[in-house]
Amino acid sequence: FFKEKLSKHLDTIIKDNLFLQSLRCMQIAVIDDSRFSLEVMKGFFLKYDISEVDYFEDSLDFIKAEKKYDLYLLDLMMPGYDGDDIIHMIRQTCHNAVIILITKHENNKLLSHCMALGADDYLFKPVDYVLLMQRINDAFNKKEKNKQIEIASKKLYELATRDTLTGLHNREFFNEFYEEKALQAKQKGHIFSLILFDLDYFKEINDKYGHQKGDLVLIELAKTVSNHLRETDLIARWGGEEFCILLPDTNKDDAFTIAEAIRLSIQKMKIDGIRSITASFGLTQWQEGDEKESAFKRVDHSLYIAKLTGRNKTVV
Ligand code: GH3
Ligand code: MG
Ligand code: MG
Ligand code: MG
């Protein structure tokens, strides 16, 4: 009677529900050195029309097949490659697949080792198929939830670290990067340079061409400047029409060359109908005895002098 009840219960969770349909679309591997276990599993899957299943009695055959699956039902103890070897192999290339261990032995140490390697869940033999289906379902749901959390946190991170208009990093991100580089400079003697630049008479551009055109200038400018930088450099929008660049492993002479190249290409920018845009640059190299604030004060002062003495120039 109990068995019958179980089987009915199984039918109700499985019958034409979405989970069963999705199982039918999956590539499934069952790896178990016990022929009996494989036959029982086969009978179960056949009963529910789940046909995309490969059965491996020999774990070496599974490895040789080099095929990827969505779901792995894996015996823990096998001659040759054990479950933990196989989990390790699967997880090197595939994070989304679900791996469920099916084992005769209650070897807690080994099981927790396998979970740490990336198994999603485990079940003891003889297999309770209601439980197995529930575990598979839960594992896929958990994976999906985690994926969504990952996407959401990536978005949040972007929002927190980037400027939405230009796509450049923001002041907060710059400050963290700057802190890291300052520490390396103090501890290991690394050098770096800072550039701070500000568009000249940008208010007039807004007044004359409108705020939207002004925005467009900032977007185009971000692209133009980024073209001059290496992967390891960091440019951030410091505020309004002011930008900050940190150039690792760069002395002030090389930084000056880069700043001048950027200044000239800003001057050459052609944005429909807008008269030549220019910017003023301050520049400084990190010096021994510097603190974050002292170096930044210097670059800010250089920019101030550039503005004061005619704009569209770089002052070191
Ligand atoms: P200076 O050469 O002395 O820097 O003159 P300026 O006009 O550039 O300086 P000011 O600080 O007086 O004005 C900066 C202007 O930048 C004012 C503000 O409207 C504009 N601005 C700041 N952020 C944005 C933005 O996101 N979009 C647009 N379109 N304009 C912005
Ligand atoms: Mg075995
Ligand atoms: Mg300005
Ligand atoms: Mg400004």
Mean pLDDT to the nearest integer, 231-246: 98
Three-state DSSP class for residue 11: helix
Write out the residues surrounding ion ligand 3, Cβ under 5 A: 198-199, 202, 241
CA 31, CA 76: separation in Å to the nearest integer? Answer: 9
Assess whether pLDDT exceeds 90 at residue 18. no
**pLDDT confidence of residue 77:** 85
CA 85, CA 59: separation in Å to the nearest integer? Answer: 10
Per-residue pLDDT reduced to its tens digit, 87-127: 999 999 988 999 999 998 778 888 999 999 999 999 999 99
Using a 6 Å CB cutoff, which residues line ligand 1? 165, 198-203, 206, 211, 214-215, 218, 240-241, 307, 311
Amino acid at 54: D
Whole-angstrom CA distances from 296 to 22, 35, 257 are 58, 71, 20
**pLDDT confidence of residue 276:** 86
Q: Which listed ligand is nearest to 196 at the C-alpha?
A: 4
Assess whether pLDDT exceeds 80 at residue 16. no
From the list 255, 248, 240, the residue with the least C-alpha distance to 315 is 255
Structure pTM? 0.75
CA 170, CA 91: separation in Å to the nearest integer? Answer: 36
